[in-house]
Structure 1
Amino acid sequence: MATRGRDHGRGRDRASNTELENNPTNFMTGLENMAAAMQATAAAMQATAAALGNQAGNGNGGDGRKGPMTLATFLKVNPPIFRETTNPTEADNWFQAMEQALQAQQVPENQRVEFATYQLTGEAQHWWQGTRRLLQQDDVAIPWNALQLEFYKKYFPKLVRTAKELELLQLKQGQMSVAEYTNKFEELYRFSKICQGTPGDFEEWKCIKYEGGIRSDILSSVGPMEIRVFSDLVHKSRVAKECLKKAALKRNDGQELHQRKHNQNFAPRGQKFKKKGKQSAAASNGPSCQRCGSHHPNRPCRFGSALCYKCGRPGHMSWNCPQGRT
Structure 2
Amino acid sequence: MAPRRVGEETSIEARRQEEEARRRTELADLISQQINSVMPTIATQIAESVTATLNTVRRQDGGGNVNDINAYKTFSSCNPKEFYGTEGPVGLLTWFQSMEAILNIIDCAPADHVKFAASKLQGRALAWWNLQVTTRGQAVMNALTWEQLKEKMKREYCPRPVVQKLEIEFWNHAMKGMELEAYAIRFHELCVLVPNMVKTEAKKVERLIYGLVSEVRLMVTATNPTTLEEAMSLSTRLVNDLVRTGKYSRGESSSRQGGGNRFGDHKGNGLKRQTIVRNYGVAEANPNPNRGKPPKCNHCGYNHLGECRHCMTCNRMGHLATYCRSGARIG
TM-score by length of 1: 0.50
Could you say which structure has the larger radius of gyration?
1
Structure with more helix by fraction = 1
